Amino acid sequence: MSMTFSGQVALVTGAANGIGRATAQAFAAEGLKVVVADLDVAAGEDTVALIRAAGGEALFVPCNVTLEADVQNLMARTIEAYGRLDYAFNNAGIEIEQGRLAEGSLDEFDAIMGVNVKGVWLCMKYQLPLLLAQGAGAIVNTASVAGLGAAPKMSIYAASKHAVIGLTKSAAIEYAKKRIRVNAVCPAVIDTDMFRRAYEADPKKAEFAAAMHPVGRIGKVEEVASAVLYLCCDGAAFTTGHALTVDGGATAI
């Protein structure tokens, strides 16, 4: 799938594996320079190596998105290396819940909200001035189908993803006249390392996960990456404040 991009530089957080890695590779395949950010240094460097092996250009910057200094450093390194920022995919996120709401812990709440909400807010806070200086740009945040409805036994995660959509829609309206678009992707269950860890111990869970999608399977990371690239490309110039489901029909039921 070939798309048209006016910009030259894309930033991806949570890019060491899964959806983030696939999207970083997809941006690079379109000829964009990619800044790969993650806490996992070894896997983040692997993402860069894969991009370079395919003929692309990429830079790894270690970043904990919950730390303001790390996020500021990430933006500074981006400008230092490439002189600009055009597209940002704020994808870093965690899911560590196991039970019902009353069984959750304060540590779980703080960790999930810290990465999934504060991390997205901090990244946008420091990306938006760079896009304003550039005169245009696009941001995509990773929400979830859990941000569009209920997610039993994942209440904190669901709340965090509802919050991501709230941040996305509000920023989209604030910057709509500045030629900066802000959207979100809302994946259902996607075949990632996180999914495999959760389900390999219980094959019945994997069967249930496939069955919850009308198409009869879980999603691929490349399918989410395609959605992110669409939301950033010139063809999506009239799309902002949107939460795009990539869910095999799950939310249509």
Rg (CA), the chain: 17
pLDDT digits (tens, 9 = 90+) for 142-178: 999 999 999 999 999 999 999 999 999 999 999 999 9
Architecture of domain 9-189+221-246: 3-Layer(aba) Sandwich (3.40)
In terms of DSSP H, where are the helices of the chain?
18-29, 41-53, 68-82, 106-113, 119-134, 155-174, 193-199, 203-211, 221-232
- In angstroms, rounded to a whole number, what is the distance separating the alpha carbons of residues 172 and 27? 22
pLDDT digits (tens, 9 = 90+) for 61-120: 999 999 999 999 999 999 999 999 999 999 999 998 889 999 999 999 999 999 999 999
Query: 152: closest CA among 220, 219, 227, 208?
Result: 208
Query: Which is the catalytic residue, given 87, 126, 157, 199?
Result: 157
Most trustworthy range by pLDDT among 2-6, 45-49, 204-208: 45-49
pTM over 0.95: yes
- In angstroms, rounded to a whole number, what is the distance separating the alpha carbons of residues 70 and 77? 10
Q: In this predicted structure, what is the pLDDT of residue 1?
A: 52
Please say whether the beta carbons of 154 and 97 come within 8 A. yes
Q: What angle do CA 58, 232, 214 make, to 5 degrees?
A: 105
Whether 2 shows a pLDDT value over 70: the answer reads no
In Å, how far are 95, 139, 233, 248 from 239, measured between CA atoms? 28, 11, 10, 21
Whether 14 shows a pLDDT value over 60: the answer reads yes
How many alpha carbons fall within 13 Å on the CB side of residue 210?
Answer: 8
Active-site residue, 87 included: no
Whether 205 shows a pLDDT value over 80: the answer reads no
CB contact burial 216-247 (16+ within 10 A = b; e otherwise): eebbebbebbbbbbbbbbeebeeebbbbbbbb
